[in-house]
């Protein structure tokens, strides 16, 4: 089922007629800026649907404050069920029929992989997409495509360096989703281990998003004799992994991709007690961490949630991501002024300097340039205590790739 979120403000909707979009700025009229998106409102990654709902709510807040460049934002968000073929159909519809100015925060590595060549070829910005695949930071190959969150490969490098410092003789197993999202994790591990990769990595197993469970993979990983597990899975399979290895009585030092550490959509379904000791890497503030109880940035987020998303699960990290990425886009649109052409939107997305976002961890800022399409490059390790995630260590940065 498609979901369309039209958020033009009342003032715009009451005007008698719409101005025709400027030929040099599709999706832009005298009254509106139309932004396109696809998200997993259904399917195997439907836990991510809350992100797009949050983005819609932020755009409503922006419109309530006057919009951008004198225009109201129309957010056209369609369900792709985390299915690449459906993403292709929906994005073509957004670009060719709905005439959006650009595509924003499309969720998923396989889904974005399916559309990136198309949008890049048409000169349609595909920006701040919801995937940390390392390839989204390549302005030479894809000048119209930009990620937002830290690269998965960078994240895996950070884990591996920590593993070597804590367990120099570690036997590492890796479970990954069989796509560019998952494959970045073994690649990041190899970046750090180099010629010692085979000496440390004893088992690498993948799964497909169409699989019912990862039970057989978990059994094979345990049988390898590994004492460290790195899991690169979306929320449904992440929760299954945590629960299954606990049921097996296997207690490896467990690292979980940062895209699947939401308390609401992963830890609670897995059983909080089963996740105790789980390590991940964060760049966003965790809404369940008491550290941020009186934090000004998180109070701003909580006030937004109370007004625009009443009743939403405040333990879910999805709304924190949605708020952060849309706030970052707001900065880009402010920098655009009244020039909302596709070229200027991309130029301003690549011209962010030390931008502070309320929900980012202290010390982490947004920086981009014509040669840097990785807006966030820093993370901090965090561990599940049984009740919440607790940060530890310093802000870390990957080696780049």
Q: How far is CA 160 from CA 14, 191, 228, 277, in A?
A: 57, 9, 10, 17
Instruction: Name which of 135, 88, 384 is nearest 255 in CA terms.
Output: 384
24: confidence class by pLDDT, cuts 50, 70, 90:
low
Average pLDDT over residues 310-338: 96
Is pLDDT above 90 for 9? no
Average pLDDT over residues 232-249: 97
Average pLDDT over residues 64-89: 96
Position with higher pLDDT, 400 vs 368: 368
Residue 152 backbone phi and psi in degrees, to 5: -60, -35
**For the chain, how long is the longest CA-to-CA vector?**
71
Per-residue model confidence (pLDDT) at position 7: 46
Is pLDDT above 70 for 46? yes
Give the pLDDT confidence of 298-308 residue by residue, as tens digits.
Answer: 999 999 999 99
Q: Which residues have C-beta within 8 Å of that of residue 106, sequence separation ≥ 6? A: 37, 38, 39, 80, 87, 91, 112, 115, 126, 129, 130
Per-residue model confidence (pLDDT) at position 399: 63
Task: Say which range, 1-10, 305-314, 347-356, 366-375, has the weakest mean pLDDT.
Answer: 1-10
- Do residues 124 and 103 make contact, with C-beta atoms less than 8 angstroms apart? yes
- Do residues 312 and 292 make contact, with C-beta atoms less than 8 angstroms apart? no
Question: Which helix (H) or strand (E) element contains residue 371?
Answer: none
- Do residues 362 and 394 make contact, with C-beta atoms less than 8 angstroms apart? no
Q: Which residues have C-beta within 8 Å of that of residue 163, sequence separation ≥ 6? A: 170, 172, 228, 253, 255
Average pLDDT over residues 380-395: 94
Give the pLDDT confidence of 132-151 residue by residue, as tens digits.
Answer: 998 999 999 999 999 999 99
Is pLDDT above 70 for 224? yes
Give the pLDDT confidence of 50-66 residue by residue, as tens digits.
Answer: 999 999 999 999 999 99
Domains in the chain with CATH codes: 10-150+295-370 (3.40.50.2300), 152-282+380-397 (3.40.50.2300)
Average pLDDT over residues 368-394: 94
Is pLDDT above 80 for 75? yes
Per-residue model confidence (pLDDT) at position 397: 81
Give the pLDDT confidence of 110-135 residue by residue, as tens digits.
Answer: 999 999 999 999 999 999 999 999 89
Is pLDDT above 80 for 296? yes
Is pLDDT above 50 for 362? yes
Per-residue model confidence (pLDDT) at position 44: 87
Per-residue model confidence (pLDDT) at position 23: 58
DSSP for 206-269, written as a single string: EE-TT-S--HHHHHHHHHTT-SEEEEE--HHHHHHHHHHHHHTT---EEEE-GGG--IIIIIHH
Q: What is the CA radius of gyration of the chain?
A: 21
Give the pLDDT confidence of 171-200 residue by residue, as tens digits.
Answer: 999 999 999 899 999 999 999 999 999 999
- Tokens representing 305 are 């949630």
- Do residues 186 and 152 make contact, with C-beta atoms less than 8 angstroms apart? no
- Tokens representing 154 are 């960078």
Residue 205 backbone phi and psi in degrees, to 5: -130, 140
Per-residue model confidence (pLDDT) at position 16: 32
CA atoms of 363 and 320, how far apart (whole Å): 17
Q: What percent of the chain has pLDDT over 70?
A: 93
Is pLDDT above 60 for 12? no
Is pLDDT above 90 for 269? yes
Is pLDDT above 60 for 13? no
């Amino acid at each position: 089922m498609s979901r369309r979120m039209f958020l033009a403000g009342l003032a715009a909707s009451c005007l008698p007629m719409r101005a025709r979009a400027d030929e040099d700025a599709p999706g832009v009229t005298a009254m509106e800026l139309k932004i396109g998106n696809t998200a997993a409102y259904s399917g195997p990654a439907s836990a991510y649907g809350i992100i797009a709902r949050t983005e819609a709510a932020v755009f409503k807040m922006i419109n309530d404050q006057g919009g951008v460049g004198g225009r109201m934002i129309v957010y056209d968000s369609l369900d792709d069920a985390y299915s690449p073929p459906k993403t292709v159909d929906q994005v073509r519809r957004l670009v060719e029929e709905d005439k959006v100015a650009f595509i924003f925060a499309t969720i998923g590595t396989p889904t974005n992989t399916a559309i990136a060549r198309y949008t890049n070829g048409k000169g349609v910005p595909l920006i701040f997409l919801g995937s940390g695949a390392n390839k989204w930071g390549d302005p030479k190959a894809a000048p119209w495509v930009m990620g937002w969150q830290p690269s998965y490969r960078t994240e895996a490098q950070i884990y591996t360096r920590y593993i070597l410092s804590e367990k120099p003789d570690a036997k590492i197993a890796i479970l990954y989703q069989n796509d560019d999202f998952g494959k970045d994790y073994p690649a990041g591990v190899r970046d750090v281990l180099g010629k010692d990769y085979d000496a440390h990595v004893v088992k690498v197993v993948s799964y497909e998003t169409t699989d019912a469970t990862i039970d057989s993979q978990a059994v094979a990983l345990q049988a390898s004799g590994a004492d460290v597990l790195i899991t690169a899975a979306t929320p449904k399979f992440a929760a299954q992994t945590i629960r299954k290895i606990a049921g097996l009585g296997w207690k490896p030092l467990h690292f979980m991709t940062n895209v699947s550490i939401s308390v609401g959509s992963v830890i609670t379904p897995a059983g909080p007690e089963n996740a105790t000791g789980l390590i991940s890497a964060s760049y966003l503030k965790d809404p369940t961490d008491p550290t941020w109880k009186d934090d000004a940035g998180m109070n701003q987020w909580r006030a937004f949630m109370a007004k625009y998303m009443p009743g939403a699960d405040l333990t879910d990290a999805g709304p924190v991501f949605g708020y952060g990425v849309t706030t970052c886009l707001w900065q880009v649109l402010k920098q655009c002024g009244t020039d909302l052409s596709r070229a200027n939107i991309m130029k301003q997305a690549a011209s962010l300097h030390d931008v502070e976002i309320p929900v980012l961890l202290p010390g982490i800022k947004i920086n981009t340039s014509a040669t840097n399409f990785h807006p966030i490059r820093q993370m901090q390790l965090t561990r599940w205590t049984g009740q919440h995630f607790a940060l530890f260590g310093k802000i870390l940065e990957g080696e780049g790739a």
